[in-house]
Amino acid sequence: MENAVRLLSTLALMGAVRHLAARFEQQAGIRIDADFAPTIGLLGRLRGGEGADVVILTKEALGDLAAKGTVVPESCADLARSFVGIAVRAGAIRPDISTEAALRTTLLGARSVAYSRIGASGIFFAGLIEQMGIASAINARATITAGFTAERLVDGSADIAIQQLSELKQVGGVEVVGPLPLHLQKSPAVFSAGRLAISQRAPQAAALLKFLASPDVAPALRESGLEPETG
């Protein structure tokens, strides 16, 4: 049997995992067989019986799986935090999002705002615009999508994309303006990893989890737009 570990990961960690995969294989002699999707999509696939060795999800989602015994509780490790940000098409005017008032003006002035309702960033953003009292105005012309919202900038569907910074950075032809005002993101998303109880590759899974939670990978996490929990 090939020495590999099957990983299901939320999109927020895609850039970092792809960047780190070769290093892990060189160090551990284990190949990462990875698939990436929004957290809610991954949860549906797991409920449907799809197998894997390691999963990376939001901390809340992973905690629920650990409480149910689907994920081995003692294997769980927090990897990184991520802030929600804004991107525009490359060459477009960079909007002001430095304050809540400026963000409100930018969102209301957009032709269309692209966001996802099945990922952590989209759930947060939907709640934020409700809180700001502009949900109806934004949603009347929003571009609701799955996967990378910044792709809707490239195809012209929207002129502003909302998502985790690490996800916005995965799309070429766009410019990341920056995070939404941090005081509006009091609880940034935390992404955590754990081993599925059904895994038949416990040693390989343990090696990957130790690697991803180590301080050595912190620079790669930061480069991908994440803030590592490893310091």
- Report pLDDT for 230: 60
Gap between the Cα atoms of 17 and 11, Å rounded: 10
Q: Which domains does the chain have, with CATH numbers?
A: 4-81+189-228 (3.40.190.10), 84-184 (3.40.190.10)
Contact 75, 194 (CB under 8 A): yes
The model's pTM: 0.87
Contact 39, 119 (CB under 8 A): yes
Encode the chain (231 residues) as per-residue pLDDT tens digits: 479 999 999 999 999 999 999 999 999 999 999 999 988 889 999 999 999 999 999 999 999 999 999 999 999 999 999 999 999 999 999 999 999 999 999 999 999 999 998 778 888 999 999 999 999 999 999 999 988 999 999 999 999 999 999 999 999 999 999 999 999 997 888 999 999 999 999 999 999 999 999 999 999 999 999 999 864
Gap between the Cα atoms of 208 and 206, Å rounded: 5
Contact 151, 59 (CB under 8 A): no
- Report pLDDT for 83: 93
3-state class of 138 per DSSP? helix
- Report pLDDT for 1: 46
In the block, tokens 């950075």 appear at 169
- Report pLDDT for 120: 82
